[in-house]
Amino acid sequence: MLWIKAFHIIFMVTWFAGLFYLPRLFVYHAACDDEPGNARFKIMERKLYAIMTIGAGLTILFGLWLLFGYHLTTLQTRLWLPIKLVLVASLIGYHFYCGHLVSVFRDDNNRRSHVFYRWFNEFPTIILIAVVLLAVVRPF
């Protein structure tokens, strides 16, 4: 199970690298006012979203493997795990919303300012802190 946990962490880092960087690209893209820059951001966002989706899928796969590899009855008596799973579910929703935003920028339909994306960029940081604390400290 340690190999599975290691791969889970590796792909989680890959996924989070994308979750941190893609919204930052949105910040710069929203402030971009030239066509070559606009085209460049579209390519970068599309490719990054594809890579981070692979990372997300493998993170979830190895996470489920870990979840079902351990005795579920033992884990069900602890409150930290359901809270962590809800946070991960919200992160998956955030990931798909990022995919929607990639489409919005691709179609030149962005109506939000770079300030919105600066705030939007903070969400994965908050979730990462909470999930790591829950998984490591297991306070409940």
**Residue 75 pLDDT:** 59
Rounded distance between C-alpha atoms, residue 93 and residue 87, angstroms? 10
Percent with pLDDT over 70 in the chain: 95
Rounded distance between C-alpha atoms, residue 97 and residue 46, angstroms? 13
Torsion of CA 123, 125, 30, 114, to 10 degrees: 80
For the chain, what is the mean pLDDT? 94
**Residue 140 pLDDT:** 84
Chain-centroid distance, C-alpha 115: 20
Number of domains in the chain: 1
pLDDT > 80? residue 59? yes
Domain limits at 80? 2-137
Distance (Å) of CA 13 to CA 19, 31, 66, 125: 10, 28, 17, 12
pLDDT > 80? residue 77? no
Determine which helix (DSSP H) or strand (DSSP E) holds 113, and give its type and residue range: none
1 or 54, higher pLDDT: 54
Calculate mean pLDDT across residues 120-140.
94
77 or 114, higher pLDDT: 114
Q: Tell the residue number behind the tokens 């935003």, with chain if given.
A: 101
What is the pTM assigned to this prediction? 0.92
